[in-house]
Amino acid sequence: MFTAMFGAVEQGIIYAIMALGVYLTFRVLDFPDLTVDGSFVSGAATAATMIVLGYHPILATLAAIVVGFIAGCITGLLHTKGNINPLLAGIIMMIGLYSVNLRIMGFSSENATSLPNVPLLNSETIFTKIYSFWEHLGIDAFFNNILTSLGVKNLPQTWEILFVMIILTTAIKFIVDWFLKTEIGLAIRATGDNKRMIRSFSANTDTLIILGVGLSNGLVALAGALIAQYNKYSDATMGIGMITVGLASVIIGEAIFGTKSIMRTTFAVIVGAIVYRIVLAIALRVPFLDASDMKLITAIIVILALIVPQMIDKQKDKKRKAKRLQEKLAAAQLEKQGGDHLA
């Protein structure tokens, strides 16, 4: 159980980067962008292929971000300059990217032009590179000793990925927070909020949408690149349903922590991504469910995350109304009594 939870948190923090990307489009830009399913794999494929070709994993990861950014910009262009509905623009890109991703992975082998997957079993990744430094720090032993004294058996192999990802994801969160407060960031937020208004303040909404969708997909591709290095493979189908996962994370996080400010919402989205992974890990431990049911479970989690907050709100509203009615009745009663006294 502990190992499963530990893995869920590790993955959750990586997927949180993707969730932040989804938050940028769905919430900030109000642009339901489905490119994610494709650009996530593009990131994974680019990073895995470059690593296999012998590039430094950090360079490979940065290249993945660029590829995702370009994919997102194209979706933005299709919508703004091609007047294609956002959902449709995303779907078109998702389908097109599937082939592009096969081609990208094809570069990893001299014998094939396209490949459905790239294994990274014996390759250096960002995580193995940092591990060679990490293992001298003795942090693993420190934490595992604590766990052993608490009576936990199956100990995690290393705490490195968890720590590295906490630092990286937190850094990205702060960058996103800061960006959304810059002049360009404010204009992007206003584009999602009130297009007519921001145009009247000399902002080109087309450019802002293209930039916003591009940045979002850059983050998604970064998450893809990291997941490929975490799982030690990239696969053409690893992006299926990714948009639902991102959406689930955003909605769960917002339902738990609310959306009072940008800083709080981005934090909520990160926690949402982790909670989602934990829920999934628990669901998979139910005896009659197995790994192939994961997508269905995802779909159900999203449905619940969308409907339950509504029902809670309705219930709260009802209670509030009932209370107000009671108070009014009581006040009327009191007034009547007072009136009687006077009479």
Partner 1 sequence: MLKLEGINKIFNEGTPDEKVALNNINLHLKPGDFVTVIGSNGAGKSTMMNMISGVLKPDVGKVWIDGKDVTHLPEYKRSHYIGRVFQDPMAGTAPSMTIEENLAIAYARNANRSLRLGVNRQRRDFFRTSLEKLHLNLENRLNAKVGLLSGGERQALSLLMATFTQPAILLLDEHTAALDPSRAELITNLTKQLVEENHLTTLMVTHNMQQAIDLGNRLIMMDKGQIILEVDEVQKPNLTIPDLMAEFERIRGEKMNSDRALLG
Q: Select 113 or 202, whichever has its Cβ closest to partner 1.
A: 202
- For the bound state, the minimum distance from the C-beta of residue 79 to partner 1, rounded and expressed in Å, comes to 17
DSSP letters spanning 232-252: TEEETTTTTTHHHHHHHHHHH
Give the residue carrying structure tokens 């703004």.
80
d(CA 59, CA 51): 9
Beta carbons of 17 and 223 less than 8 angstroms apart: yes
- 201: part of which helix (H) or strand (E)? none
Q: Select 91 or 190, whichever has its Cβ closest to partner 1.
A: 190
Q: Which of 66, 70, 155, 186 binds partner 1 (CB under 8 A)?
A: 186
By CB under 8 A, which span of 41-49, 188-196, 306-314, 333-341 interacts with partner 1? 188-196
Residue 204 engages partner 1 in binding (rule: CB under 8 A): yes
Tokens of 160: 């490195």
Residue 189 engages partner 1 in binding (rule: CB under 8 A): yes
- For the bound state, the minimum distance from the C-beta of residue 175 to partner 1, rounded and expressed in Å, comes to 11
Region of residue 260 (phi > 0: left; psi between -120 and 50: alpha; otherwise: beta): alpha
Provide the mask over 244-283, with x wherever binding to partner 1 is found by CB under 8 A and - wherever it is not. Answer: ----------------------------------------
Residue 185 engages partner 1 in binding (rule: CB under 8 A): yes
Residue 200 engages partner 1 in binding (rule: CB under 8 A): yes
By CB under 8 A, which span of 44-52, 105-113, 179-187, 217-225 interacts with partner 1? 179-187
Q: What are phi and psi of 68, to 5 degrees?
A: -60, -40
By CB under 8 A, which span of 86-94, 187-195, 220-228, 284-292 interacts with partner 1? 187-195
Q: What are phi and psi of 235, to 5 degrees?
A: -140, 140
What's the number of CA atoms in the CB half-sphere (13 Å) around residue 11? 19
Residue 83 engages partner 1 in binding (rule: CB under 8 A): no
Residue 218 engages partner 1 in binding (rule: CB under 8 A): no
In this structure, is the dihedral angle defined by the CA atoms of residues 307, 294, 285 and 232, taken in order, positive or negative?
negative
- For partner 1, the binding residues (CB under 8 A) are 178-179, 181-187, 189-190, 193-194, 196-205
